A = this chain, B = another copy of it.
């Protein structure tokens, strides 16, 4: 199943439109290219709907949100819903400020995501649960599966909760991924890039829960492989080897 999905992404090279934060644009584009997709990143309100209509998937990430971008996200999101392509929302730092929290709700009132992907603190915030947070990264303990089920029910979407173990839910099926490496928490944008790959995986026909699980598994194993590379001596040298590992061939 892993093989099929990733190899199909590589054959189809789905065009994924990203409205994402300024910190991770380059890393996300290179990571998605390595995985097998084709990134496009437009921000202007005048063209985001048109770009979405050319695309096979849409990722919305609120990490460096501003007013024009909220409007652009709603326009792009509505276009994605109209043409029926997968849409992944990453509510980065939603609990951090009232502005970000409200913007997230504005988007969710107008746009229906296929999957909401975040850490426990971000997802808990979307269902008014309290999880201890520090900035944009969740540090508290929580029953991730319970949060995932609450978000899935309230927003009627698939959900992926990242953490030491990733917990996902799609159409009532819960799945857990245990691949990964601590280096992913020592570089910026690892969660953001994952959102992009999840979007690409959902463009492939088949069971979306299998595709999400396969992407989580591949992502974590790529991190493990990169971290084990003899030339990797820290987070800086981890990054290029991780991109390499995302591009690795998948055995049949």
Chain A positions near chain B (C-beta within 8 angstroms): 13, 15, 21-27, 29-30, 33-34, 38-44, 46-47, 50-51, 54-55, 63-68, 93, 96-100, 134-137, 186-189, 231, 233-237, 239-248
- A33 pairs with B237, CB closer than 8 A: no
How far is A73 from B171 in the complex, measured between Cα atoms in Å? 44
List the number of copies, as a whole number. 3
Given contacts A50-B96, A236-B242, A241-B237, contact A24 B26 (CB under 8 A): yes
- B39 pairs with A188, CB closer than 8 A: yes
- A23 pairs with B23, CB closer than 8 A: no
- B241 pairs with A26, CB closer than 8 A: no
Select from chain B the residue with minimum beta-carbon distance to A16: B135
Select from chain B the residue with minimum beta-carbon distance to A69: B44
Residue among A39, A64, A67 with max Cβ neighbours from chain B (10 Å):
A64
Option from B23, B38, B65 in Cβ contact (under 8 Å) with A29? B23
Given contacts A40-B93, A44-B65, A47-B100, contact A34 B137 (CB under 8 A): no
- B135 pairs with A236, CB closer than 8 A: no
- B234 pairs with A50, CB closer than 8 A: no
Given contacts A50-B98, A93-B40, A234-B243, contact A134 B15 (CB under 8 A): yes
- A240 pairs with B244, CB closer than 8 A: no
Provide the residues of chain B in CB contact with A39, threshold 8 Å: 188
- B67 pairs with A46, CB closer than 8 A: yes
